[in-house]
A and B are shown apart, each in its own frame.
Chain A
Amino acid sequence: MKRYPWLWSFLGALAVWLVTIVVVEGRGAGATLTAALNFAVFYVVVGAGQMFVVTTGPGNVDLSIPANIALAGAVAMRVMDGNTLLIPVGIIAAVAVGASIGSVNFLLIYLLRIPPIIATLSSSFIIQSLAIAFGRGLRIRPPEPLADFTTARAFGVPFMTLAALLLTVLLSYVLRESVFGRSVTALGQNARAARLAGIRVNKTRWLTYTLCASLAGLTSVLLAAYSGGASLDMGNQFLLSSIAVVVIGGTSIAGGDANVPGLWGASLFLFLVVTMLNALGVSSGLRQMLTGLIIITIITLSSRRQAT
């Protein structure tokens, strides 16, 4: 268990799924799992970016993700304008919006010498205003093929999930094998040692924040396509959930130790918890409260695990 910290999150997801099945007396167990695989994609892709950021060391968190998703999603829908041929252009536009936001975040951290939390927070204020001004009352539906892609599945496994699986395998490879990935981990373990070892700290930081924000931009397209259009508040839940899946998945919040498989377990867990609470007929207020409590409990328990 100690060697595979991500196992916990999968076991948790499995347990919650089983409880849900018992509650609904076995009806729609497969459908629940398919829905979980579908929704987990959003958590995983956003969470992967946040994981890279968190891994670069204490105090590194991207708080601009919700605003980023709101703006990039609105831009993507405007660029595509419901036109199938413009799908690639729209995706590139959303990722480009994300990449620019990431670069701005890095510049604020670098030039103003302020903690990343404050930098991403202040930029998110401005991005939020841009998103409101740009995306208010936007009623552009995503192009049909894109919307179809986000819901298509074979044998109960959504295509989107397979694509995201590929992406995470790629990111896992980048993290373990590439110079960039190893720099990220080294930076998180000991920034001073990393600097002395000749790692290009600023370049690594810049790439990390750009990668994170680009992945959030990519997610915004998927979210907008899945929910039939971009809305201003579609990114709101991803502030907590992006951090939660990183921590629940076994990545160290203190940095220097990332865990890619755990992202999937944690994302499935997070979605299934909400499903379970819904199946139990819990009111929305109580559901919010329990979600918060579960996350705090898991963080408390995982800190005990790291200590031993």
Chain B
Amino acid sequence: MTILSRQSLRQRLPRTLRAALPAVALALILIAIFNLQPRARSYFGLNLLLNLSVPIVFATLAQMFVLTIGDLDLSVGGFVSLVACISVTHLTQTPWLGVLMLVGCVVLYGLLGALIAWRQLPAIVVTLGMSFVWFGLAVLVLPSPGGRAPAWLISTMGYRPPLVPLPIIIATLTAIVVFLAFMTTPGGVILRGAGGNANAIARAGWSLMRIRITLYVLAGCMGVISGLTLTGITTSADSNIALRYTLVSIAAAILGGSEFVGGKVSPIGAVLGALTMTLAASFLSFLQISPDWQIGVQGVILIIVLALRALLEWWERHA
């Protein structure tokens, strides 16, 4: 009995550690920042540090929904940029037209999923092509930097709730809501199952086409929220405002425990990953290192976490 329980503990430990990796990475970088700059520990400091994480959290969730079915979305950045451009122009000037355009964008995203499912196209190539389409549309909507976000959006993102800064509340609530809706409901199980074993789900009578469309529509919705919250913070936009989100969202989702085989995703991990990626950027400025290295450090963090994960997997197999 004792041997049995010790064995199971030895097997469980690496798995638990692996699940805790995203949280550990975030905690480490937070501790490092607090040590370098004690003033960051205040309400105001945290608000400032995490403000720009809100749109990244939603962009990462968009990526996560696409990763669920084993696809990779290289158009997230272009899409969020387009949403931001619509937000600071049409949504402010003629709100109904702006809303209509955003709905159109989400519908297009769903059609994209339909096209990929219908012709069995490699998502990476299709979304790479779409990144040019979104970017081109963004340039057409907003040819030169500027515009102004709707007042309600700016005041929402500028809201200062008592005790806990807004970005932390948004991140926590989003993580909980998406976790409950995606990881604990029957619908979520089917959506994730299609990524894990498409044949099994198809044989059980579910339409893989509808599942892919649903996931792409969800991704589109997250992209829209990302673009809106972004302009709520920046108040104006330009056509390449969020292009870097494509790479950051993939890195953050992977950091948060999403895997490529499909089906294995983690909403809470994705949110933690997005926060870590945002903080990694600020961390450098506290060290007074040139922002040139910002993206490099994000790459290093990603590789370290992937290496740790590989190590823990090896341990799990040999335990």
Residues of A within 8 A of B (CB): 59, 61, 108, 111-115, 117-118, 121-126, 128-130, 132-133, 136, 239-240, 243-244, 247, 253-254, 283-293, 295-296, 299-300, 303-304
A59: B residues at CB distance < 8 A: 260
Identify A292's interface contact among B136, B251, B260, B299, CB under 8 A.
Answer: B136
Residues of B within 8 A of A (CB): 72, 115, 119-122, 124-126, 128-133, 135-140, 143, 239, 247, 250-251, 254, 260, 290, 292-300, 302-303, 306-307, 309-310, 313
A283: B residues at CB distance < 8 A: 139-140
CB of B129 within 8 A of CB of A112, answer: no
Identify A287's interface contact among B136, B239, B307, B310, CB under 8 A.
Answer: B136
CB of B292 within 8 A of CB of A240, answer: no
With A112-B303, A285-B138 known to touch, is A300 a contact of B115 (CB < 8 Å)? yes
CB distance from B86 to the nearest CB of A (A): 14
CB of B247 within 8 A of CB of A292, answer: no
B135: A residues at CB distance < 8 A: 288-289
CB of A292 within 8 A of CB of B254, answer: no
CB of A240 within 8 A of CB of B128, answer: yes
Main secondary structure of the interface of B (DSSP, over half): helix
Question: Which of A108, A133, A288, A299 has the most chain B CB within a 10 Å cutoff?
Answer: A288
Question: Which of A122, A247, A303 has the most chain B CB within a 10 Å cutoff?
Answer: A122
* Alpha-carbon distance A111/B314, docked complex (angstroms): 11
* Alpha-carbon distance A126/B295, docked complex (angstroms): 7
Closest 3 pairs (CB-CB, A-B): A125-B299, A129-B296, A289-B136
> Which residue of B is nearest A116, CB measured?
B260
CB distance from B146 to the nearest CB of A (A): 15
> Which residue of B is nearest A126, CB measured?
B299
Identify B132's interface contact among A114, A125, A132, A291, CB under 8 A.
Answer: A291
CB distance from B306 to the nearest CB of A (A): 5
CB of A118 within 8 A of CB of B137, answer: no
With A108-B303, A130-B296 known to touch, is A285 a contact of B260 (CB < 8 Å)? no
With A117-B124, A125-B298 known to touch, is A240 a contact of B293 (CB < 8 Å)? no
CB distance from B317 to the nearest CB of A (A): 11
* Alpha-carbon distance A128/B260, docked complex (angstroms): 23
CB distance from B254 to the nearest CB of A (A): 6
CB of A239 within 8 A of CB of B128, answer: yes
* Alpha-carbon distance A291/B136, docked complex (angstroms): 9
> Which residue of A is nearest B239, CB measured?
A285
CB of A304 within 8 A of CB of B119, answer: yes
CB of A114 within 8 A of CB of B129, answer: no
Enumerate 25 A-B pairs (CB-CB under 8 Å) in ascending A order. A59-B260, A112-B310, A113-B313, A117-B72, A125-B296, A125-B300, A125-B302, A128-B296, A129-B295, A129-B296, A240-B128, A240-B129, A244-B129, A284-B139, A285-B136, A285-B143, A286-B136, A289-B133, A289-B137, A291-B136, A292-B136, A295-B125, A296-B133, A299-B129, A303-B119
CB of B303 within 8 A of CB of A285, answer: no
* Alpha-carbon distance A304/B121, docked complex (angstroms): 10
A288: B residues at CB distance < 8 A: 132-133, 135-136, 139
A296: B residues at CB distance < 8 A: 115, 126, 129-130, 133
CB of B247 within 8 A of CB of A121, answer: yes
With A247-B125, A285-B137, A290-B136 known to touch, is A122 a contact of B302 (CB < 8 Å)? yes
Identify A129's interface contact among B72, B136, B254, B292, CB under 8 A.
Answer: B292
* Alpha-carbon distance A293/B129, docked complex (angstroms): 7
